[in-house]
Structure 1
Amino acid sequence: MIDVYSWPTPNGHKVHIMLEECGLRLGHEWQIHAIDIGAGNQFNADFLAISPNNKIPAIVDADGPAGKPIALFESGAILLYLASKYGKFLGDTDHKKFNTLQWLMFQMGGFGPMLGQAHHFRKYAPVKVDYAIERYSNEAKRLYDVIDRQLAKTAYLAGDDYTIADIASFTWARSSENQGIDWADYPSAKRWFDQISARPAVQRGIEVLAARRKPMMDDKEKEILFGKTQYQKR
């Protein structure tokens, strides 16, 4: 059994989708533990013991390498672990693996963090900062253009095969409207997005904990996520 500590965010959904894509079923081969980040659950000592950066998702696999339990945090590391364990969605040659890895790193280093900043300053920041909105909205558009140009040449980000790189970027692209993106400007990326959206395992993955997430944060939740609580020494 794999225990997943998560919340319905883009990074959380990466792991939910990957587990379903690997043929594991919620309640059978994996189970979910809700970490309500708006309520501050990510700062609880038990969670910090497996995710020292107080971020979701994290997993504990009772049947890890050599049959020993393993705890992992960071969504990219978890995707790589699951791809390695189940032999899926990474590539069956070194060339394919490294091509997948470069697009996974693209998401982890840019497509996620920069889109997150665009989302934050456009929707959640208590003060509207025009410079920040313009800076991160423009960077979001640039990054979508990168994947649009790639997807004009290939079916998926790393080539003809669906991989963890697609899973990682797809979950962030689900919030495109909040990032200031008009899909009409990125037809190849939109084709890719729609194709992945139609996958049954993806649909199951994005439903995990979805009913628990509120459409809007209240002031207390915003303070926990973006205020002094986040920066307290632990």
Structure 2
Amino acid sequence: MIEVYAFATPNSLRVPIVLEELGLPYDLRSVNVRKGEQKLPEHLARNPNGKVPVLVDPDGPGGERLVLTESGAILIYLAEKTGRLLPAEGIARARVFEQVFFHLTGIGPMFGQAGYFQKQAPEQLPIALNRFNSESARVMTVLDGTLGAQPFAAGVNFTIADIAHFGWIWRRAFADIDLQDYPNVQTWYDRVASRPAVERAIQRVTALIPEE
């Protein structure tokens, strides 16, 4: 069975979503980043970068065991392994990659930095707050325009592009993003959040948070 090492983080959530959508059984194992477990030797052996998620597929290419890090790479790997959630060729495939990389190089990093400088930095730095807050708003405006023209991120079908976007928008409060400012993203978010597979994935990752 596939193993997923994760926590209730935006990047982690993508992996249970894609596995639930694909109907692949998996064992979800907690790595509590709030306690620094991602830096423990046993996890660094899986991912020297000390991050979650990590996917372990005992039936990887050629039947070999595969340990894979980086949520974007995991999405692409699982889509190609099953032949689902990613068009096989042409413009439709290119549009999926366009949106996946737009998120991984734009929305995700901006949200992460905005949240850090708002909530976790040891001192308030106006230049950093202005930079990352304004960039978060800008890339969300770009996404809102895209979703105003089509129902899903890469076109008319649900793909791994939507899963890539969903994680950080699910955790948008960290970056102080209000979807009331982005009505097309709000409509898309509600559409994706209501998918049974997404609901199941959210339930599983939120269950990793220990009660205090």
TM-score (norm. length: structure 2): 0.94
Could you say which residue in structure 1 is the equivalent of 2:94? 98
8 Å contact from structure 2 (residues 111, 136) kept in 1: yes
Q: Say whether residues 1:63 and 2:52 are aligned partners.
A: no
Distance 2:175 2:39 in 1: 28
Aligned-pair CA distance for 1:151: 0.7
Number of residue pairs aligned between Structure 1 and Structure 2: 212
Distance 1:185 1:113 in 2: 20
Q: CA 1:215/1:131 → structure 2, altered by over 3 Å: closer, same or farther?
A: farther
Could you say which residue in structure 2 is the equivalent of 1:6? 6
Aligned-pair CA distance for 1:129: 1.8
Where in structure 2 are the equivalents of 1:32-51 lying within 5 Å? 32-51=28-47
Could you say which residue in structure 2 is the equivalent of 1:164? 160
8 Å contact from structure 2 (residues 17, 198) kept in 1: yes
Aligned-pair CA distance for 1:156: 0.8
Distance 1:215 1:112 in 2: 27
Give unmatched runs, 5+ long, in structure 1.
217-234
**What SS does the corresponding residue of 1:195 show, helix, strand or coil?**
helix
**What SS does the corresponding residue of 1:161 show, helix, strand or coil?**
coil
Deviations 1:4-43 (A, max 9, x none): 111110000000111101112xxxx210111111222112
Aligned-pair CA distance for 1:214: 6.5
Distance 1:52 1:40 in 2: 14
Deviations 1:145-198 (A, max 9, x none): 010000111111111111111111111011223323232221111110110011
Aligned-pair CA distance for 1:45: 2.3
Question: What code does the residue aligned with 1:8 have?
Answer: A
Could you say which residue in structure 2 is the equivalent of 1:209? 205
Q: Over the residues paired in the alignment, what is the CA RMSD in angstroms? A: 1.6
Could you say which residue in structure 2 is the equivalent of 1:16? 16
Distance 2:180 2:33 in 1: 33
8 Å contact from structure 2 (residues 111, 174) kept in 1: no
Distance 2:100 2:11 in 1: 13
Could you say which residue in structure 2 is the equivalent of 1:130? 126
Where in structure 2 are the equivalents of 1:110-149 lying within 5 Å? 110-149=106-145
**What SS does the corresponding residue of 1:59 show, helix, strand or coil?**
strand
Q: Say whether residues 1:186 and 2:182 are aligned partners.
A: yes
Q: What is the identity percentage for the equivalent residue pairs of Structure 1 and Structure 2?
A: 40
More helix by share: 2
Q: Say whether residues 1:85 and 2:81 are aligned partners.
A: yes
TM-score (norm. length: structure 1): 0.86
